[in-house]
Structure 1
Amino acid sequence: MARARAIRTETIVLRQQVFGEADRLLTLLTPDRGKLRAIAKGVRRPSSRKAGHLDLFMRADVLLALGRNLDIITQAQTLDAYRPLREELLRSSYASYCVELLDRFTPDGEANAALYRLLSDVLSRLSGSDNLALTARHYELHLLDLVGFRPELERCLGKGEPVQPEDQHFDPLAGGVLCPLCGSQRHGAQPISMHALRLMRFLQRSPYAAVQRLRVRPQVAAELERTQLRYITVQLERQLKSVDFLERVRHSGYSAAAKDGGAHAPARAAAPARQPAAGAE
């Protein structure tokens, strides 16, 4: 059977770089072909019909002419522009982090429709969320689940017994939680509070609709962020470049920083919990 010479597919633009005088080389995520690279010929010319449809983070319907080494985008139509991600630096920084995280965990050419939907959903959420940090923490845990790096949060990795409602240890190299006795004997395991662990478990098992209105105490948000980023760094054996840039943006006094809702939001007195997740205000 002859191989199709062109296909139509949805795609999200992960990365872009200048290619030649008027072209761009794009890294795309598709639901049915996974991650791939394609040339957008002439897209840098103002007269190009594809200009404005293939910007960073955009979701578009494209027609790909299949090549031996690189595909060529012959048509493109915007499905969702996610405009706030290019108009607000803080939102853009979180989107860059979420895209880089997916990029590092996924090989080229491996289809994963659920992963595509997760990225599409998080870009939409980051475009409107008033708690960007919590949105990112939820995304991290669900991405880790889809790519096979789900951390164990229910049972002690040393004894195999359910963890008790008390402060525990978390070992990123072992892949999850340890009871106080096992954790104290494991090099590299660090304490994790009962509140941070409960919140982490709630985010891991819950849909976004159940967590989007949570109000989390700043100290719990900061602990959760440190724990998850350390776990991600150990699994990837590298630190993501976007993490440092995001930190600089959050510390810069950028006018939208109040929308972060994360570890660097102004501290305030904790109110009684109104949600099932510990550490919520």
Structure 2
Amino acid sequence: MTEFRSFRASAVVVRHADWGEADRLLTLYTREQGMVKALAKGARKITSRKAGHLQPFTHITVQLAKGRDLLIVTQAETVDAFLPLHDNLIKTGYAAYIVELLYRFSYEEEGGNPSLFKLLVDTLGRIEKEDEAWLSVRYYEMRLLDIVGFRPQLFECANCGREILPEDQFFSFATGGVICPQCGQGLPNLAKISMETLKYLRHFQRSSYRDASRAHPSPEVQKEAEALMQGYFTYLLERELNTPGFIKRIKS
């Protein structure tokens, strides 16, 4: 991280935790510095003017000063509070999911990534406004994988390199791509992927959100695509994410 005594940043509040008697420890994803931890002194006091700006998922402009061990929040202003995300448990779950994914794929002091920051803010806005978040969340997953360097190979067989034909295929988490039926007969640990599901994932990978949002996949395709993406993330992160189970429990 570049050395600054104090700097201004655009940020989204990713997490917060109580710290000491009255402070709050924040995890922020900033456009300028990436993932950082910062201390908001006195944020838990009833009289605190900062507290309202530091709720999870809030898009803020923040002034951060370099403390002895941690960055210190000296000022914070809300750009967008995304209030409906807090009023609807399913929307809360999806917002928590996209933030958890970002958190798992980010490291402190790796520097800012304006594309990832924009994707995060745009997706929070889409979840806030849209009745059904399935599409915006799948689109976010595909774009996130692109940005962090794990773009799945969906047009050629990840094993033999031949072009994928219009038929049901396999997907390999280990090689990060589609495996043709010929190669799929002899390889272990493959998931099945229907041509219909593959068609939508390809569409999300190469389209703008405006074009992608015209898609109307069937419930079966939605279920298959979601399970496939969860499997791929579990493989890449070597652990299951916490939020999908929370979303499932709310929905049931």
TM-score, with structure 1 as normaliser? 0.87
Instruction: Kindly provide the amino acid, as one letter, of the partner of residue 148 in structure 2.
Output: V
Aligned partner of residue 51 in structure 2, secondary structure = coil
Aligned partner of residue 52 in structure 1, secondary structure = helix
Identity of aligned residues (%): 44
Aligned partner of residue 26 in structure 1, secondary structure = strand
Q: After alignment, is 96-105 or 129-138 more displaced? A: 129-138
Write the mapping of 1:21-170 to structure 2, written as runs, cut at 5 A. Answer: 21-110=21-110, 111-170=112-171
Instruction: Kindly provide the amino acid, as one letter, of the partner of residue 135 in structure 1.
Output: S
Structure 1 position 194, deviation (Å): 0.5
Aligned partner of residue 82 in structure 1, secondary structure = coil
CA distance in 2, matches of 1:63, 1:206: 36
CA distance in 2, matches of 1:196, 1:52: 42
**Residues 71-103 of structure 1 deviation map (CA, whole Å, 9 limit, x = unaligned):** 000110000100011111000000001000010
**Residues 231-272 of structure 1 deviation map (CA, whole Å, 9 limit, x = unaligned):** 111011100011111111111xxxxxxxxxxxxxxxxxxxxx
**Residues 99-156 of structure 1 deviation map (CA, whole Å, 9 limit, x = unaligned):** 0001001111122111111101111111011221111111001001100111100100
CA distance in 1, matches of 2:237, 2:136: 21
**Residues 143-200 of structure 1 deviation map (CA, whole Å, 9 limit, x = unaligned):** 0110011110010012111100111111111111010010121101122110000111
Aligned partner of residue 12 in structure 2, secondary structure = strand
Aligned partner of residue 151 in structure 1, secondary structure = coil
Instruction: Kindly provide the amino acid, as one letter, of the partner of residue 65 in structure 1.
Output: A
CA distance in 1, matches of 2:147, 2:243: 21
Check if 1:206 corresponds to 2:207.
yes
State the Cα RMSD in Å. Answer: 1.2
Instruction: Kindly provide the amino acid, as one letter, of the partner of residue 218 in structure 2.
Output: R
Match of 2:228 in 1: 227
Structure 1 position 45, deviation (Å): 1.2
For structure 2, list consecutive stretches of 5 or more residues without a partner in the other structure: none
Change (3 A) 1:4 1:234: closer
Structure 1 position 212, deviation (Å): 1.9
Instruction: Kindly provide the amino acid, as one letter, of the partner of residue 199 in structure 1.
Output: Y
Structure 1 position 3, deviation (Å): 4.7
Change (3 A) 1:164 1:11: same
Structure 1 position 20, deviation (Å): 1.0
- Flag as ranges the 4+ runs of structure 1 deviating above 3 A: none
Aligned partner of residue 72 in structure 1, secondary structure = strand
Q: After alignment, is 41-50 or 208-217 more displaced? A: 208-217
- Does the 8 Å contact 1:183/1:190 carry over to 2? no
